[in-house]
Amino acid sequence: DVVMTQSPLSLPVTPGESASISCRSSQSLLDGNGYNHLDWYLQKPGQSPQLLIYLGSNRASGVPDRFSGSGSGTDFTLKISRVEAEDVGVYYCMQGLQTPLFTFGPGTKVDIK
């Protein structure tokens, strides 16, 4: 079975600075068409999760351009440039290629220092 890991699990950030979260998969998430089936979701406090990044590097509709996703295969990164107070919450990566499908990472809690 595929295993998803994230680091760090807790990330205090200073507004205006950048922050990065790593997500690693125990198996490649790159399919034969060149798509990386790795997505990022943000769950703000008291809210349901929302899609941030899909297929590794594509911003979802309405997501600010300070959010970017990169990586391929087994290693992926979510970067937040110029962190704002509204970016606090738990960030989850999720894979949609390997068995079992739709495996989430443990989550990274981002809060303001």
Q: With 0-12 CB in 10 A as exposed, 13-18 as middle and 19+ as buried, what is 2? A: middle
Residue 63 or 73: the one with the smaller Cβ distance to other proteins is 63
Give the Cα separation of 69 and 56 in Å (integer): 6
φ/ψ of residue 85, rounded to 5: -60, -30
Residue 100 preceded by cis peptide, ω within 30? yes
Q: Which is nearer to other proteins, 13 or 42 (CB)?
A: 42
**φ and ψ at residue 33, rounded to 5 degrees:** -95, 5
Q: Which stretch binds other proteins (CB under 8 A): 15-23, 43-51, 65-73, 77-85?
A: 43-51
Judged by CB under 8 A, the stretch of 15-23, 46-54, 64-72, 75-83 that binds other proteins is 46-54
Residue type at 93 in one-letter notation: C
Residue list 82-111, contact with other proteins (CB under 8 A): 90, 92, 94, 96-97, 100-107
45 binds other proteins per the rule CB under 8 A: no
* Residue ranges that bind other proteins, judged by CB under 8 A: 31, 33, 35, 37, 39, 41, 43, 47-51, 54-55, 60, 90, 92, 94, 96-97, 100-107
